[in-house]
Amino acid sequence: MSAQVINGKELVQAVREHFRLEVEELAQKQVQPGLAVVLVGNDPASAVYVRNKAKACETAGIYSEVHRLPEDTGETELLALVERLNGDKRINGILVQLPLPRHINEDKVIDAIHPDKDVDCFHPVNVGNLMIGKPGFLPCTPAGVIEVLKRMNVDIAGKHAVVVGRSNIVGKPMAMLLLREHATVTVCHSRTPDMEKITSQADILVAAVGRPQMIKAKHIKPGAVVIDVGINRLPDGKLVGDVDFDDVLETAGMITPVPGCVGPMTISMLLANTIVSAKRAAGLE
């Protein structure tokens, strides 16, 4: 029997409608969440992400600014913009789109964002809070994955979850959030021997390795929930995930499509963090 393909569009619409209503309630209290997005250079994928984020803010009623800077923008100039946004009371969240041009130190820029406005959850303070279980922002893509699992009524507690990938943006924080939900978590990566043996034990498999269609049916436990975080463009222009969707479809119990699920849900969690930040700034949380 074919896996249930998760309807990402339907889930995202429900989440964003909830946020729209929440923003309407805040407006009654004279509070409007604000997000500033900074894009340096002309990376096509980054430009698409930024456009989607701005559109999502508009739909939810969140004030947004997009700062588009040329490729040759200096590090000092970018840091000065971040500092100005740190002090802008209209702005509750600051997102600097990565990757940055090579002449700019990404760590310096991330560290310059005030932790209270770090809605991407990249600042060391927020990453530390995540690690020790303190309240704070949740990293957007991993939080989006958890949201998908919960809305699909997937029981996470006690299950064996395997994360393929150990990046700071997805793999590591994904493992932490699954642990918070009481899963038993294994992290696989490029140096994991016999990965197939491990992934095929997973009740929940999260693929976040950045290699197109790497995960095949042989990696999947029959009936497993497969969450594909990857988004890769093939030479023919087709967008695919880290999971070979067609190959896995008859083995998995549930699977996310690419594109159309984890990506839009990631943006939804960015909205969630921005709303939380606005509430804190207004003393409402």
pLDDT tens per residue across span 242-259: 999 999 999 999 999 999
Out of 97, 118, 213, 242, which one is annotated catalytic?
97
Tell me the pLDDT band of 85, cut-offs 50, 70 and 90: very high
Number of helical H runs and strand E runs in the chain = 10, 11
pLDDT tens per residue across span 34-75: 999 999 998 888 888 899 999 999 999 999 999 999 999 999
Out of 120, 203, 228, 244, which one is annotated catalytic?
120
Would you call 247 a catalytic residue per the annotation? Answer: no
What SS3 state is found at 170?
coil
| H/E stretch holding 163 | strand 160-164
Residue 124 has pLDDT above 90, yes or no: yes
Q: What pLDDT, on a 0 to 100 scale, did the predictor assign at position 43?
A: 85
CB atoms within 10 A of CB 69: 17
Average pLDDT over residues 207-234: 97
* In the block, residue with structure tokens 């190959």: 247
Q: How far, in Å, CA of 206 to CA of 199, rounded? A: 10
Average pLDDT over residues 93-104: 96
Q: In this prediction, what percent of the chain has a pLDDT beyond 70?
A: 100
Residue 95 has pLDDT above 90, yes or no: yes
Cα Rg of the chain, angstroms: 19
pLDDT tens per residue across span 129-174: 999 999 999 999 999 999 999 999 999 999 999 999 999 999 999 9
Would you call 218 a catalytic residue per the annotation? Answer: no
Q: How far, in Å, CA of 105 to CA of 108, rounded? A: 5
Q: Exposed/middle/buried for 273, CB within 10 Å: 0-12, 13-18, 19+?
A: buried
Residue 1 has pLDDT above 80, yes or no: no
CA-based angle 129:133:135, to the nearest 5? 65
CB under 8 Å to 262, separation ≥6 — which residues? 8, 141, 144, 145, 148, 227, 228, 229, 256
